Homo-oligomer: A and B are copies of this chain.
Amino acid sequence: MLTMTKKTTSTPHHHGNLREALINAGLELLETGGAQALTLRKCAALAGVSHAAPANHFNGLVSLKVAIMARGHLLFAETMRQASSQAESCPRTQLIAICEGYIRFARTHKTLFNLMFQFDCIDLEGVDDASKNEKRKAGEESYGILKKACLPFEHNGGNSLNTETMVWSLVHGYAMLFANEGASKRAIPSFSEILPNLPLK
């Protein structure tokens, strides 16, 4: 008898889907224990496997981190999409809402946000292609939301790249510098107060 339509994407061998489980474990450790709690061995333990099991799915800790960064960008994009959908359609209102989503994500997921936008970029030598591709794709998705919201505007000579770059720099710097509880000593202006008046196209 032909066992037709047998699952081609069958759950692998022992665990089921360890790669996914390790990413989720990493996210959880990051949220609860901070950056230094993100450990290959802790992820493995949280997923219920031995300490060396992750090696079958990630070429070392860095590859897992890159996969987590990718996952973070998906959550990031979702936060901005949600903010956009709850705001009115006026271009400036939309842009502000998305930026506030940006900032809220940074505030809510400090450690993940920091990992995602690490400045001294992770050396991608030796990182899994899967993780790298996921990160690139998810990064483009999240950036695309901001980019789209900049399209109605014009800034410095009609080059839309100028607007994108200005807005992205502004919101990213604001999120980095002020989306921390520690900075609450000073009365920081809201983002809408520092966003320059952008003329519509």
Contacts and interface: CB of A to CB of B under 8 A. Distances in A.
A110 B122 CA distance: 11
B114 A110 contact: no
Interface string A104-136: 001000110110011111010000000000000
Nearest to A109: B120
Contacts of A173: 168-174, 176
A156 interface: yes
Interface residues of A, number: 40
A196 B194 contact: no
Contact of A177 (B162, B168, B177): B168
Number of copies of this chain in the oligomer? 2
Contacts of A123: 34
A180 interface: yes
A186 B160 CA distance: 13
Contacts of A121: 180, 182
A165 B189 contact: yes
A52 interface: no
A186 B106 CA distance: 25
Interface in A73-126: 106, 110-111, 113-114, 117-121, 123
A117 B176 contact: yes
B174 A161 contact: no
A2 interface: no
B189 A161 contact: yes
A178 B119 CA distance: 9
Interface string A140-173: 0000000000000001100101100110111111
B156 A193 contact: yes
Leading 3 A-B pairs by shortest Cβ distance: A173-B173, A169-B173, A172-B173
